[in-house]
Structure formats: structure tokens, C-alpha cells
Copies of this chain bind each other. A is one copy, B any other.
């Protein structure tokens, strides 16, 4: 406890920025269904979609001191990712800290604890994904770490990784994988556009992907309800 790592390596800026375009669900698929935070991590308001490079911090339950320390390590294009060392539903973050981070070019906050001032944060356009909404204030007594690897939302986050967050949740992309995942996300999106058109035209996935033989092989059988009723 008590280490602040400075001058962290960040993911390539262009790749980090590009990932917001594809959204959480596509990025999560594109990197092989890895890195998705638990569904309890919800946006405090709907409609935001961001990506950026992670600055990580740990806080102790009911204590938000390290967010101030972490803020200094943040720069334009970062997303701050905060995990309490034990379950805590305190409101670690509000519109004042939102103002401070926004002034530094931080794009949003991911916190596995509570957030408050949610109406103000929405009004100022600073998005937060949190475990809960809670107005319960915190103290400034105990130190933690900044920019060490952490577990947040039940996922491992390394400083400099890319975070993508939208109405579907939050996904972590490893620092060195960002460009590759961006490329695969784009490919996936193109492929999905084709599928969407065929589905919209009434085609079934059963036919489009030739699923019937494999389903039959697994033992799937069709029974008319009338015959079932006789059974």
C-alpha cells in the first residue's frame, strides 16, 4: 500500500480512441469474449459511450483520498478506474471531483463503489460507471496505490489498458492489444452489417449459418403439439 507509479506506458492513442466507435459488445467479442466487467457496473446516466486509457487506483472503504492522488497522474484521454479494497457502497465521487477530472481531459470514471451528484454529473457531461448511486460521503485518512494492476468489476485492469464503456457496461482491452482489437472490431462490425440486412429481410439464423444438421446431430427433435397432447 502507498505506491504511486508515474510515467506509465499507455495504449496507442489512436487505437484507444477508435474503440469507442464499436462499443462494448463488439469490442468484447472482437477480443475473444474477455475483459468484460460484472453487470453491476452501470452508467449513472444513459447514452454515453467512451474509450480511453486507464489510470488505476485503489481506495479503502469509505475513503476517497487516493482519487485526489490519482487525478494528478491523469492526462487528456484517460479514464480513471477505481476499486475499493473491500466492498463499500460509499459515494466516493461527486461533481467536484468530476470538475477536477474533466479539467484535466479525463473522459469518465469507472468505480466499483458508489457515486453521488448524479444529476450534476449528467448535466456537465461527465459519465461514470459505478456499483451503485450513493450520497454517503467519505473521509481522507488512508492511502492506497495508483497505477498498479487492480481488480475492478471482477476484471483485471493494468494501467495503460484501454477502457471502453457504454450502456452495455465496461470492457478492458490490454494495452498492447488495442490496435489489433480495433481492427477486429471493425471487421466484426462489417460482418454484422451483412447479417443484419439478411435478418431484416426475414432470413433465419438456422438457415444462414446452416445450423440444422448440427442441431439434429445433437439430438434436437420436432414434435407437433397435437401429438404431444396424445402422449
Chain A interface residues (CB < 8 Å from chain B):
1-9, 23-25, 28-29, 32-34, 36, 38-39, 42, 46-47, 49, 60-63, 65, 68-69, 71-72, 83, 85-91, 94-97, 99-100, 102-104, 112, 114, 116-119, 132-137, 139-143, 147, 149-151, 154-156, 159, 166-169, 171, 192, 195-196, 199-206, 209, 211, 215, 218-226, 228
Given contacts A4-B222, A5-B225, A226-B7, contact A204 B33 (CB under 8 A): no
B223, A6: Cβ atoms closer than 8 Å: yes
Number of copies: 6
Q: A25-B91, A116-B25, A139-B142 are in contact. Are A133 and B167 (CB under 8 A)?
A: yes
Q: Is the interface of A mostly helix, strand, loop or mixed?
A: mixed
**A5's contact among B3, B9, B85, B228, by CB below 8 Å, is which?**
B228
